Amino acid sequence: MMKKFFFVFSFTLICAGATFNVSAQTIRIDTVATPLRTSRLMLGGYGEAVMQRMFYSDNPARYAYPETYKGKSHGRFDLPHVVFYAGYEFGKGWRLSTEIEFEHGGAGSTYEIEKTEAGEYETEIEKGGEIAIEQFWIEKTWSPYVNLRMGHIIVPVGITNQYHMPTDFFSVLRPEEESGILPCTWHETGISFWGKTSKWRYEAMIVAGLDAERFNNESWIAGGSVSPYEFKIANTYAVAVRIDNYSVKGLRTGLSGYYGYSAENTLKQDRYASRNVKGIVSIGAFDAVYDNNNVIARTNVIYGNLGGSYDISIINKRLPSASPSPRTDVASDVLSFYLEAGYNILSLFEKTKNKDDKLYLYAHYGFYDSMYKTAEGIADKTWCRKKILSAGINYFPMSGLVIKAEYTLRQFVSPYNNEPAISLGIGYSGLFN
């Protein structure tokens, strides 16, 4: 049987806000179709290019000295994600899926001869960023209800990890309320079981646990999924589950969760073992999307808990400076939620309501706190508490193409300065073959 694949390539310009609308999870295989294709090879991908103008200082000390860095601004170009996909149908229910991701334009270095230093060879960094395998798995399908996936897999906790293409959200960058506390896109090596009926989809997986050394105050456990080494430490494991319901026309609701140990997934786990720290990470999330009657509305709520956060904070802050750890405190609990909604205003006019193009006016409100609760003895960093307000447009001249504009305001409690930004973008989605 053949599955449907989706490709999205998003190109976003000018200041913080663009996306394109295709309903799928990454290059996602989750619906059974009749074999219409003649080729077993499928190629695609997705990506984002961004230009931002932020009306606040980008100095790292702006939270320590808010009065000093008041009223400044800066701009930025970026390629947050460019992903190329290749899939292959072996037949008899076996298939391969791969994605390679270039974050922030990839990374590169070259050798050159330094003319001013006696012709010595030097290594020059040509481009920052990262290159990563986002997905690499082999899957066996017995029926639409029973599938086994083995390899490097997306962890479908929260709405953005499951639906992270640029078309799956209104803003130019992935919703900050989620990417500010969780890995995004979260991908781990493991085994997944999933299936789908007309009204339900389920997924359950076993993956490597997170690395407690990589946790910090600004983004909680988000750094814990990325290994700075040539391998992923997997002394302990974790489980992730997700279930989605499609019973109501135009509405999808989802529940997801994660439970796993983190303290032993470090190179020097004896530091944590001496304090009997397990570093259990527990996460629960609810999300929903309504797409019908010219309305698109989305919501997402996440609550997370880290056991042993006090000990992890103390140990991490004492790590040597050469360690890849951020060496900061980490919260015991985090909270995140957002709601966004848009309406296709072209449906209001007789001449345009039945055409393919769509123009959504949208608004977004969210909150997250990566230091929502802290253990006794760990200071609460109130600059980690943020409200996100944004509004803008998404214009789809045709299916797969979108042009966007957005204004965003990140609000802080006193004495920190609010952080506004503006954005403009264009995006594309499609399948190469």
* Residue ranges in the chain whose pLDDT is less than 70: 1-38, 108-128, 433
Distances (CA, A) of 184 to 28, 221, 224, 367, 410: 16, 11, 11, 17, 20
Burial status of residue 149 (CB atoms within 10 A of its CB: 0-12, 13-18, 19 or more): buried
DSSP string spanning 94-156?
Answer: EEEEEEEEEETT--EEEEEEETTTTTEEEEEEEE--EEEEEEEEEEEEEETTEEEEEEEEE--
Distances (CA, A) of 314 to 81, 196, 328, 329, 365: 34, 45, 8, 7, 35
Domains of the chain: 2-108+127-429 (2.40.160.10)
CA distance 390 to 341: 11
pLDDT value, residue 30 = 45
Distances (CA, A) of 145 to 194, 201, 285, 418: 7, 8, 23, 48
Q: Establish whether the linkage from the previous residue to 415 is cis, with ω within 30° of 0.
A: yes
Burial status of residue 304 (CB atoms within 10 A of its CB: 0-12, 13-18, 19 or more): buried
pLDDT value, residue 1 = 38
pLDDT value, residue 124 = 57
pLDDT, tens digit, for every residue of 273-284? 778 899 999 999
H-run or E-run covering 390: strand 385-398
Q: Residue 266 in 3-state DSSP?
A: coil
H-run or E-run covering 366: strand 358-373
pLDDT value, residue 175 = 93
CA distance 385 to 187: 26
pLDDT value, residue 372 = 97
